[in-house]
Structure 1
Amino acid sequence: MTTETGPRRSDATRAAILEAARVRFAEDGYERATIRAIARDADIDPSMVMRYFGNKERLFAAASEIDLRLPSAGALPTRHIGAVLVGHFLDRWEADDVLNAVLRGGVTHPAGAERIHAIFKEQIGPVVAGVCPDPAEAPTRAALAASQILGMALARYVLKLPPAVDLTRDEVIAWLAPTIQRYLTAERPHIEGA
Structure 2
Amino acid sequence: MRRSSAETKTVILAAARERFAADGYDKATIRAIAADARIDPAMVMRYFGNKEKLFAAAAEFDLELPELASELAGAGLVRHFLRKWEADEGLQVLLRTGVTNEAAAERMRTIFGGQVLPFVVRITGDPAGAPLRASLVASQLLGLALSRYILKFPPMVAASEEELVARLGPTIQRYLTG
Normalised TM-score (structure 1): 0.88
Query: Partners in 2 of 1:33 and 1:97 — Cα distance?
Result: 16
Q: Aligned-pair RMSD on alpha carbons?
A: 1.3
**Aligned residue pair count:** 178
- Residue in 2 that maps onto 1:67: 62
- Residue in 1 that maps onto 2:35: 40
Residue 153 of structure 1 aligns to a residue whose secondary structure is helix
**Residues 82-126 of structure 1 deviation map (CA, whole Å, 9 limit, x = unaligned):** 000000000000000111111112111011101111111110000
- Residue in 2 that maps onto 1:52: 47
Aligned pair 1:26/2:21, yes or no? yes
How far the C-alpha of 1:135 sits from its partner, in A, is 2.0
**Residues 27-55 of structure 1 deviation map (CA, whole Å, 9 limit, x = unaligned):** 21111111111111001111111111111
Where do 5+ consecutive residues of structure 1 fail to align? Answer: 187-194
Residue 128 of structure 2 aligns to a residue whose secondary structure is helix
Residue 165 of structure 2 aligns to a residue whose secondary structure is helix
Query: Partners in 2 of 1:126 and 1:172 — Cα distance?
Result: 24
Q: Which is greater in Rg? A: 1
- Residue in 1 that maps onto 2:131: 139
Where do 5+ consecutive residues of structure 2 fail to align? Answer: none
How far the C-alpha of 1:133 sits from its partner, in A, is 5.3
**Residues 139-177 of structure 1 deviation map (CA, whole Å, 9 limit, x = unaligned):** 100000111100010011111111111111111111110
- Residue in 2 that maps onto 1:116: 108
Which of structure 1's runs of 4+ aligned residues deviate more than 2 A? none
